[in-house]
Structure 1
Amino acid sequence: MDLQNRIALVTGGTKGIGAAAAIRLAEGGSDVALAARHDDDSTRRTLAAIEATGRRGVFIPADMAIPEQVNGCVEETRDKLGEVDILVHSAGGPIAGKLLEIEPEDWYRGFEVHVHSAFHLCRAVVPAMKAKREGAIILISSVAGIRGVPAVIGYQTVKGALPQMTRALARELAEDNIRANCVAPGIIRTDFHKNMPEEVKQHNIGNRIPLHREGTPEQVAQMILELITNDYITGETVTVDGGLTMRIA
């Protein structure tokens, strides 16, 4: 897919991986809508970076846990920029607790934010993609959705649902030339990991990640852009994790 003059909707697009992807899309020639809960300094920095490329950028306040706001952000993107050609669903957040610790309401909200939102987003953008017979959908999972860790059962479960949803979308929508792919980042230098204790960080770098360094949002964004622009990739989940999930020793 050529990015020139496309319309992209990036959820969680005001910071971290979402912001990096939004800026790369604008650099490629797309107008970008950023959907997130808060309009803050990171929002303004991301919009400024988009506008510096000469493309249009808009911020749409939306809570991905609320279906009406999910549908509303697609409608507002359509009204302000045009029909969505590219969807990058990067919104999310931590879900704390082991099986016997997690509160049921946190479990349910995790599904609303990560999985139900993806369902509503795809239902909202796919009809226009079908009409154009072209579209690209990227869901952001996590290595925690691919391998087991001894905690955060809710986060692992919802992130594990997204690769299978990606395969289901890719198979169903292939006849309409709509591609769906998934990216599973590892330990990336974002706000999500900023509260990680220093000893845990050093253990990860020294003992768990074969490349012995954290990743950056820009490195994940590079993979997102590849999956959008390469017209012969669909249904795949690609890890960007410095080798974290491939190792057995």
Structure 2
Amino acid sequence: MKTARLTHLPTYNHPVIPEATEDQRLVLLIGDAIGRSMRARIVDRLEAADVPFRPAVVGCDRPFPGFEAVADAMTELLQTFRPHVAHVAVGRDDLRRTLEPDGVSHPARRLADIRRDLNRIIDAAKQSADTDVVLSTVAAVRDDLQEEIRDDDVDRLNVVIREVGQRRDVLVDRWDRAIDRRPEGPDHLLPDGRGLSSCGLDLVASSTTTAIVDALIRAENPWNRLTRIGRGGPLDGIPRPRHPELS
């Protein structure tokens, strides 16, 4: 049953009714317009993944404009869909620049505010004690082709995402490493310098699938199972499994 604020949002998941013999894992995809456009690619790759369980994608058929909107809705989304993993892929719209009358431009949101929203998203998941979060970095852009988003703003935001992920022990999906923004490189970006080409979408969808599967497998580690009993409390003498992004 959806809560009041989410009743108007159509879901893109089929009814999730696990079969008696099926070991199912629910994956909540939270994305902006780019993330929404990759949905079918991610579903196909998860269905083909060689894992000892069946990932099932759930979520809202709505693009989220940025981290603040996700942070505001995160608790309700988790209560509604109760996923094992929530993959968050937003942030580009937070970097769209505004032009002052004197010609000076600024990103739409401050990094300090985005950092706060990232922590709110993780806090909501840790409160649920049943969901692991995966934060995606923002895919590269080319600012020589457009003025709305600067590549150095993307780089600074991705540093913040990585710092928060490492400090809060959250996996990071490395979209920025999947996409090549060099003019002489492959055509991962559209001619507008912002959108992802079909090849670029395939690359980030593969990256997302790998990150989600890593998170699902990581959740099966005995350390994680024990911490859920204590809602995230530390366990002395039991090594914490580490992801390459966190090392």
TM-score, normalised relative to structure 1:
0.52
Give matches, 1:135-214, under 5 Å. 135-144=132-141, 152=147, 154-174=149-169, 178-184=170-176, 185-186=179-180, 193=190, 195=192
2:117 and 2:191 mapped to 1: Cα distance?
30
1:116 and 1:18 mapped to 2: Cα distance?
28
Residue-by-residue CA offset, 1:29-81 (whole Å, 9 max, x unaligned): 23332xxxxxxxxxxxxxxxxxxxxxxxx32464327x3x3333313312421
- Give identity over the alignment, percent: 10
- What is the DSSP-based 3-state SS (H/G/I as helix, E as strand, rest coil) of the residue aligned with 1:186? coil
RMSD (Å) for aligned C-alpha atoms: 4.5
| Structure label with greater radius of gyration | 2
Identify which of 234, 238, 243 aligns with 2:245. 234
2:75 and 2:124 mapped to 1: Cα distance?
13
Do 2:32 and 2:65's aligned partners in 1 also have CA atoms closer than 8 Å?
no
Against the structure 1 CA distance between its residues 76 and 154, is the aligned structure 2 distance closer, same or farther, given a 3 Å change threshold?
same
Structure 1 residue 103: Cα displacement: 5.1
Residue-by-residue CA offset, 1:69-113 (whole Å, 9 max, x unaligned): 333331331242125622222352584799999653xx231x36x
> What is the one-letter code of the residue matched to 2:126?
M
Structure 1: runs of 5 or more not aligned: 34-57, 197-212, 237-249
Against the structure 1 CA distance between its residues 129 and 83, is the aligned structure 2 distance closer, same or farther, given a 3 Å change threshold?
farther
Number of aligned residues: 182
1:234 and 1:24 mapped to 2: Cα distance?
21
Do 2:85 and 2:212's aligned partners in 1 also have CA atoms closer than 8 Å?
no
Against the structure 1 CA distance between its residues 89 and 26, is the aligned structure 2 distance closer, same or farther, given a 3 Å change threshold?
farther
> What is the one-letter code of the residue matched to 2:66?
M
- Tell me the residue number matched to 2:9: none
> What is the one-letter code of the residue matched to 1:138?
L
Give matches, 1:74-93, under 5 Å. 74-82=74-82, 85-93=85-93
TM-score, normalised relative to structure 2:
0.52
Do 1:189 and 1:214's aligned partners in 2 also have CA atoms closer than 8 Å?
no
2:120 is aligned with 1:123? yes
1:186 and 1:61 mapped to 2: Cα distance?
24
Structure 2: runs of 5 or more not aligned: 1-22, 49-53, 219-242
Structure 1 residue 222: Cα displacement: 0.6
Larger fraction in helix: 1
- Tell me the residue number matched to 1:201: none
Do 1:8 and 1:25's aligned partners in 2 also have CA atoms closer than 8 Å?
no
